Amino acid sequence: MKVSTEDAKKAESLVRLLLETPSGLAEVLLDYKLFSNHPYLRNRGILASSASLAAAQSGTPEFLRLQDEVYIRVCIYGNERRLTGAERQEAMELDRALIQMVQDLESQ
């Protein structure tokens, strides 16, 4: 999966926010100016993974998996918005497979 530098920076920014300030997600959701800097939080999957990461105990396998999952989901969101047709469908299938791999790693 090709990831634009812009999407990677957005993903890194959100993960950093959640790691450094667990209440940061609530602050972003309550402040329109902050929320406008994180439009991908309108995606339910990204929002749910972000909330789970903010609530997870640091250093646990779940925490590490969620950190990867949030990053991947933000990158996927950016890719899906730029693609169309068969290319989009193929990318979405690959993206789902990547998320499933991250989830499977946790269960091992």
How deeply is 69 buried, as exposed, middle or buried, from its count of CB atoms within 10 A (0-12, 13-18, 19+)? buried
Q: What pLDDT, on a 0 to 100 scale, did the predictor assign at position 37?
A: 83
Mean pLDDT (the chain, rounded) = 85
Measured CA to CA, the distance from residue 52 to residue 46 in angstroms comes to 10
Structure tokens at 35: 């929320």
Q: What pLDDT, on a 0 to 100 scale, did the predictor assign at position 103?
A: 76
**pLDDT tens string 4-62:** 888 889 999 999 988 888 788 888 888 888 888 888 898 888 999 999 999 999 889 88
Domain that holds residue 34: 5-107
Decide: 2 and 79 in contact? Cβ < 8 Å. yes
Q: In terms of Cα–Cα distance, which of 57, 53, 55 is closest to 11?
A: 53
Rg (CA), the chain: 14
Q: What pLDDT, on a 0 to 100 scale, did the predictor assign at position 53?
A: 92
Number of domains into which the chain is organized: 1
Q: What pLDDT, on a 0 to 100 scale, did the predictor assign at position 52?
A: 93
Single-letter code of the amino acid located at 72: I
pLDDT of 1 above 70: no
Measured CA to CA, the distance from residue 48 to residue 84 in angstroms comes to 25
**pLDDT tens string 58-103:** 889 889 889 998 998 898 888 777 778 888 788 778 777 877 887 7
Q: What pLDDT, on a 0 to 100 scale, did the predictor assign at position 50?
A: 93
Overall size of the chain counted in residues: 108
Q: What pLDDT, on a 0 to 100 scale, did the predictor assign at position 99?
A: 77
